[in-house]
Amino acid sequence: MKSLWNDKEAQHCKDELALRVYSSRLLGSNPELVLHGGGNTSVKISEKNILGEEQELLYVKGSGWDLATIEAAGFPAVNLQHLIALAGLKSLSDPQMVNELKTHMTSASAPTPSVEAILHAILPYKYVDHTHADAVVTVTNTPDGLARIQEIYRDSVVIVPYVMPGFDLARVCAKEFERQRNDNTRGMVLMNHGIFSFADDARTSYETMIELVTQAEEYLKVKKAWSIDTKKSSKKLPADKLLKISALRKQLCDIKQSPMILTTTCNDAVYSFIERDDLAVISQQGPATPDHVIRTKQLPMLGNTIDQYVANYKKYFDTYSSKVKSPASTSIEMLDPVPRVILDQELGMCTLGQSIKDANIVRDIYQHTIDIIQRSTMLDEFQALPAKRIFEVEYWDLEQDKLRSAGSKPEFSGEVALVTGAASGIGKACVDSLLARGAAVIGLDINKAIGSLYDSANFCGVQCDITDSDAIAAALEQGIMLYGGLDILILNAGIFPASLTIEKMDQQTWNKTLDVNLSANLKLMQQAYLFLKQAPRYGRVVMIGSKNVHAPGPGASAYSVSKAALNQLMRVASLEWGSDNIRINTLHPNAVFDTGIWTDEILKARAASYGMSVDEYKTRNILKTEVASHDVAELAAELCGPLFAKTTAAQIPIDGGDQRVI
């Protein structure tokens, strides 16, 4: 492992906290040290308070911050002497500890300090770094892990047996640090947990971490337990893979009674692991570190034996729940038994989360866990913490408090929507509304800019000609492999050709208009049907129709006919799909001018056909108001929500009140 420290970059750091941010980001940039919010760092700084009194403060990583992107605001300052005094108490519940941390911060608006703040406080060094380095965790997760750590580091590190994070860990570390510390001490290893480094300057603390982890890596290399033999897999996903993925998601969401995102990873490393003869043993011992327990659950699920997994999980809960004493409550609540990792011989690795971000975190953690398990096995055998210890972390008071205090989830959290014509106008506005309501969105558009329209994992933009059945199939595959299914379909893409009277209508314009506005939607509905049928909250379809369905205008025969036929398709589909609880409704907007189909040329021509100016044409409704894409999108999203849960085959105008329609 190489040091990433750069003196030129470090020179830009104006103070000690800035150096703390810089070196923390260096640690966070290496996934073999820190993954998705894991690890924590701190710095001790003397400052004057509002009264001009000098005070010693511990700036420690705050809850919710990731070391890879942390800023100064991510380090709440806590009174150092109070933390050291707390370490002298004989007992302190974790909720009490968190209260003490919060009430002794210098800023009420700062994030909650790390639960390991007291541990950082008692270490007599200015800078303290803590990571869950893969190499160190690999060594500690073996039967002779303690002896191996002693062999690697001799007397240069303090070694602490596993203790659950929190106040008890801080007390044990203080005791062991005092007992084992010597002139050679450079770090501290927490068995089955991670490693600390420390120094009185940021660079030394950071580079000590790199050196200590490198020692563990070199040890594994000498023991021929570093290089993993990843075989080139010849396995191909089954032809019905998307339906299997969607069905798996449906089963899991039904157990949780809430929609979730399921992402599928199938690469050589995953298949090599899944194809191991000892998979049933090595994958079922628990996570590599307690930091991973909450996000990955206790164990990955093997294959599609969901009922058996749930039965085992409930047995696991019943076995240990009576042994957990919670000072904060008389009982603990059972977390949902839904696995977060599924290892399947055909599909590869599927990971589940409330959002794609959560599912990706689980994926990344378990991919590192795969390496840790295999290296531990090459060294000796993988031996995780006992199930009782895992249970204690999973049902930790602080985690229970997080669940209880968590606010309500966004309306479409865990759901997947597909929007056509998503690069502009009503389509883009629909994407904005759905993303704001928590959905993951697959956006289709013929415009290649769709791929980079949003910098968000919740959006998958695919350039797609929706008149091409193969292109639709490829887009669905990309979206469902990423998100796991389809809950909402918004059929928005369409074209509005230049005004032509019937006697001047050419066959090419007629065919193209019906192909895009009608036939393409039929193709997409046909391919989407089985996925909508498996939606946890039942499928929803919204068609973007037109005022022209009820009040066509001269010169718009192709457009009017295509939208009228699309409306009739909606009515028939609602009859055919109603037994599957898929509800389908149509919005009929009119005079929405911030869309791609309304060019200046078309707008002038349509206004002229009514004998109006452009401004008059834009507000020719009863309410004398202009309808925007955002207005249509909000109503489209609302149609997919609970307010319209008992509505299907409806046609809703959004036109400011059109006299001809009325």
- Classify residue 404 as exposed, middle or buried by CB count within 10 Å of its CB (0-12, 13-18, 19+): exposed
Q: Which amino acid is at 377?
A: T
Q: Which helix (H) or strand (E) holds 443?
A: strand 440-445
Residue 327 predicted with pLDDT over 60: no
Of 294, 276, 443, 303, the closest CA to residue 370 belongs to: 276
Q: Does residue 60 sit in helix, strand or coil?
A: strand
| C-alpha to C-alpha distance for 293 and 301, rounded to whole angstroms | 14
Residues in the chain: 662
Q: Which helix (H) or strand (E) holds 54?
A: strand 54-60
Angle between helices 145-153 and 202-222 in degrees, nearest 10: 120
CA distances from 328 to 131, 165, 293, 393 (A): 29, 17, 21, 15
Do both 250 and 173 map to the same domain?
Answer: no
Query: Looking at the domain assignment, is residue 355 inside a domain?
Result: yes
Residue 301 predicted with pLDDT over 80: yes
Do both 64 and 136 map to the same domain?
Answer: yes
Structure tokens at 370: 């795969």
Do both 533 and 474 map to the same domain?
Answer: yes
In the predicted model, what is the mean pLDDT of residues 183-209?
Answer: 96
Half-sphere exposure of 348 (CA within 13 A, CB side): 23
Domain that holds residue 317: 245-405
Do both 371 and 491 map to the same domain?
Answer: no
Residue 77 predicted with pLDDT over 50: yes
pLDDT tens digits, one per residue of 497-519: 988 999 999 999 999 999 999 99
* pLDDT confidence of residue 404: 58
Domain termination residue (choose one: 405, 434, 452): 405
Do both 499 and 522 map to the same domain?
Answer: yes
* pLDDT confidence of residue 328: 47
Domain termination residue (choose one: 357, 375, 405): 405
Half-sphere exposure of 467 (CA within 13 A, CB side): 11
* CB-based contacts of 187, cutoff 8 Å, min separation 6: 153, 156, 157, 158, 195, 196, 197, 198, 208, 209, 212
For the chain, what is the domain count? 3
| C-alpha to C-alpha distance for 171 and 62, rounded to whole angstroms | 21
Of 51, 54, 73, the closest CA to residue 63 belongs to: 73
Do both 33 and 91 map to the same domain?
Answer: yes
Do both 432 and 362 map to the same domain?
Answer: no
In the predicted model, what is the mean pLDDT of residues 543-561?
Answer: 95
CATH number where 437 lies? 3.40.50.720
Q: What ranges make up the beta strands (E) of 61-202? A: 77-79, 127-131, 157-160, 187-190, 194-199
CATH number where 135 lies? 3.40.225.10
How does residue 331 score in pLDDT terms, banded at 50, 70 and 90?
Answer: low
Q: Which residue would you say has higher pLDDT here, 395 or 611?
A: 611
In the predicted model, what is the mean pLDDT of residues 126-133?
Answer: 97
Q: What ranges make up the beta strands (E) of 321-414? A: 341-344, 348-353
* pLDDT confidence of residue 329: 47
Contacts 24+ apart (CB under 8 A), 403-410: 403/333, 403/335, 409/258, 409/354, 409/438, 410/436, 410/437, 410/438
| C-alpha to C-alpha distance for 41 and 300, rounded to whole angstroms | 30
Do both 25 and 140 map to the same domain?
Answer: yes
Q: Are 542 and 640 in contact (CB under 8 A)?
A: yes
* pLDDT confidence of residue 399: 64
Query: Looking at the domain assignment, is residue 48 inside a domain?
Result: yes
Residue 160 predicted with pLDDT over 70: yes
Query: Looking at the domain assignment, is residue 304 inside a domain?
Result: yes
How does residue 388 score in pLDDT terms, banded at 50, 70 and 90?
Answer: confident
* pLDDT confidence of residue 330: 46
CA distances from 662 to 416, 547, 554, 622 (A): 36, 11, 18, 10
Residue 375 predicted with pLDDT over 90: yes
Do both 264 and 176 map to the same domain?
Answer: no
How large a percentage of the chain has pLDDT more than 70? Answer: 95
| C-alpha to C-alpha distance for 507 and 516, rounded to whole angstroms | 14
Do both 573 and 466 map to the same domain?
Answer: yes
Residue 334 predicted with pLDDT over 80: no
Domain termination residue (choose one: 405, 435, 462): 405
| C-alpha to C-alpha distance for 185 and 212, rounded to whole angstroms | 11
What rounded mean pLDDT belongs to the chain? 92
Query: Looking at the domain assignment, is residue 662 inside a domain?
Result: no
**For 81-95, 410-424, 537-551, which range has the lowest pLDDT when averaged over its residues?**
81-95
Query: Looking at the domain assignment, is residue 240 inside a domain?
Result: no
Do both 322 and 431 map to the same domain?
Answer: no
Query: Looking at the domain assignment, is residue 285 inside a domain?
Result: yes
How does residue 164 score in pLDDT terms, banded at 50, 70 and 90?
Answer: confident
Query: Looking at the domain assignment, is residue 410 inside a domain?
Result: no
How does residue 234 score in pLDDT terms, banded at 50, 70 and 90?
Answer: confident
Q: Does residue 70 sit in helix, strand or coil?
A: coil
In the predicted model, what is the mean pLDDT of residues 257-273?
Answer: 95
CA 284-285-286 angle, to 5 degrees, is 100
Do both 326 and 214 map to the same domain?
Answer: no
In the predicted model, what is the mean pLDDT of residues 318-329?
Answer: 63
* pLDDT confidence of residue 299: 74
Q: Which residue would you say has higher pLDDT here, 374 or 295?
A: 374
How does residue 242 score in pLDDT terms, banded at 50, 70 and 90?
Answer: very high
In the predicted model, what is the mean pLDDT of residues 214-241?
Answer: 92
Query: Looking at the domain assignment, is residue 411 inside a domain?
Result: no
* pLDDT confidence of residue 293: 65
How does residue 438 score in pLDDT terms, banded at 50, 70 and 90?
Answer: very high
